[in-house]
């Protein structure tokens, strides 16, 4: 079994866990990095992962390049791949790209952040973040959880 298949199987397992009625959340790059850096919010992020958290591959990519700046490329890839294996890592399909672009057209947040928002809206799940740009948004139906509070 290839590496991608193993990660996919784990992602499917996380989906099944969510289907059993446990509350699921979406994580943005801010949340991913809080865990990796050992920041106080890491405990809430870890709890979300145990409940079957979802994270867009776009946001994982954002965390990857930021982690690479701190720890080097090879180490960053290892760390983000390990993280991705423990969440439902959601690819950016055409529907998600359009949803993120519509959010970006309204302005106020980075394009990568728009994927976190679109992922939360798609799954009707709370978005865990400490990003002030995201936390300043007000969108109908979007529930934000401030990890910095």
pTM of the model: 0.84
Lowest mean pLDDT among 2-16, 49-63, 78-92: 2-16
Which CATH superfamily is 3-146 part of? Answer: 5'-nuclease (3.40.50.1010)
How far apart (Å, rounded) are the C-alpha atoms in residues 143 and 125? Answer: 7
For residue 85, give the DSSP letter.
T
- Domain boundaries defined on the chain: 3-146
pLDDT at residue number 14: 35
- Give pairs for 67-75: CB < 8 Å, separation 24+: 67/33, 67/36
Assigned token pair, 80: 């983000």
Among 75, 54, 58, residue whose Cα is nearest residue 12? 54
| Residue count (the chain) | 149
């Amino acid at each position: 079994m290839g590496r991608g298949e193993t990660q996919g199987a784990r992602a499917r397992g996380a989906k099944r866990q969510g289907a059993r009625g446990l509350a699921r959340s979406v994580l943005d790059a801010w949340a991913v990095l809080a865990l990796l850096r050992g920041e106080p919010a890491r405990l809430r992020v870890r709890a979300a992962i145990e409940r079957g958290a979802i994270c867009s591959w776009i946001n994982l990519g954002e965390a990857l390049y930021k982690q690479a700046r701190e720890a080097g490329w090879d180490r960053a890839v290892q760390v983000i791949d390990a993280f991705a294996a423990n969440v439902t890592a959601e690819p950016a399909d055409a529907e998600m790209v359009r949803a993120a672009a519509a959010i970006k057209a309204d302005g106020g947040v980075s394009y990568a952040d728009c994927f976190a928002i679109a992922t939360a809206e798609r799954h009707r799940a709370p978005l865990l973040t400490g990003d002030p740009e995201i936390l300043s948004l007000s969108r109908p139906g979007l529930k934000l959880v401030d990890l910095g509070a």
